[in-house]
Chains A and B, each alone.
Chain A
């Protein structure tokens, strides 16, 4: 059974640029969530996708957007990058979209914005 994978591992961008991060969910999982983890903080929920539709969203501006594909893999897109977007971005998949469903995390993508 393959776990959650993310690419790339590290990324360096400059302010104002756009970035796309990718995530492959664990086999059999149809729900993907994205989190932002700033240095020294706990992860913060960005949004969740269930069967290719956005299923919930945290307190992030519209320049954070996403997609989920028919194979349940997902992308996180961030436009007009700001210095504060520097963080570890974590993808998590779950078997179902229900609130008690355990989420399984990937290793993350470390984004640095200069």
Chain B
């Protein structure tokens, strides 16, 4: 079984400041890793994913995450946030040997960007 820990329930930052949202996972098998974003009253949108290859993955809107196998982490970073980045961010894992594509999510981190 897999589990995901998102260490911060809320992260308040000022606009244009850098931010890091932390994610650690536990699994006895290799995993695939995902970050999803949820805006108020909406479903989840895939932000970025790590399946294999380069451990640093990037999204089109400036977010990046780095897979660290030794620390079992997949932290999300952005060098300069915008007001529009205010949302809930979920880290998720999927066992690479599973016959189906289930996701195990963390509890989420609310990113609050203020002017």
Contacts and interface: CB of A to CB of B under 8 A. Distances in A.
B44 interface: yes
A103 B101 contact: yes
B49 interface: yes
A58 interface: yes
A72 interface: no
A80 to B, nearest CB: 25
Contacts of B97: 99
A100 B100 contact: no
B99 interface: yes
In this complex, the interface size class of chain B, counting residues with CB under 8 Å from chain A, is: 20 to 34
Interface string A26-69: 00000101010000111111001010000110100000000000
In this complex, the interface size class of chain A, counting residues with CB under 8 Å from chain B, is: 20 to 34
Contact of B94 (A6, A50, A100): A100
Contact of A45 (B34, B51, B103): B103
B102 A100 contact: no
Interface of A: 4, 6, 31, 33, 35, 40-45, 48, 50, 55-56, 58, 90, 92, 94, 96-108
Given A43-B44, A90-B43, 10 more contacts: A33-B101, A42-B90, A42-B105, A42-B107, A43-B103, A43-B105, A50-B100, A58-B102, A99-B98, A100-B32
19 contacts: A41-B107, A41-B108, A42-B90, A42-B92, A42-B108, A45-B102, A48-B102, A56-B99, A90-B44, A98-B101, A99-B94, A99-B100, A100-B32, A100-B51, A101-B101, A103-B46, A104-B46, A105-B43, A105-B44
